[in-house]
Amino acid sequence: MQGVCGACWAFSTTGVLEGANFIATGKLPNLSEQQLVDCDHTCDASEKDACDKGCSGGLMTNAYNYLMKAGGIQSEESYPYTGKSGECRFDPKKIAVKVANFTNIPADENQIAAHLVTHGPLAVGLNAVFMQTYIGGVSCPLICSKKLVNHGVLIVGYGAEGFSILRLGNKPYWIIKNSWGKRWGEHGYYKLCRGSGMCGMNTMVSGVVTQN
């Protein structure tokens, strides 16, 4: 749980790394968000002002680049989360997972679904304004800017189910893991309408390849 620290980007990054590592090795590590918060100050190559700034925000793609340069990421156990920015205490001798490469996924939601099935969870940026009042069910916000992407999450699956008391039929949805704790949403998860790039969820999608 990220708490008051704006480290959603770090939780999204560790989530996609944990999933990729599990698919590659069968091992599901708990990786350190705090290492990213404390040590990663990488800026986007094409947008110099878009830098990772600890509890003030960041980008998952910047984090991948940092981890490839740093050599990898420690476990949560060896570098635990504090919920605030601090001095970098990264120890290369304690690396748990290495990043070999990463991929930006096209905006086509069919391709996103196919990549999810083949390669596991994906890091996603979206507009989170309607997530703050979410309590359950399939969320299909009528007004949700696709351009104001302000929150990093993790897509872990998809499905379809009845979404209206008027029985209008099944509605495809994404299953999204959030970083606001298990008391939020459906035990920490969010179901968002699938198929129309709802809330900009298809504009910033990425996956990683880990290295043993």
The residues annotated as belonging to the active site are: 8, 151, 178
Alpha carbons 15 and 18: distance in angstroms, whole number: 5
Sign of the CA dihedral running 49, 53, 58, 60: positive
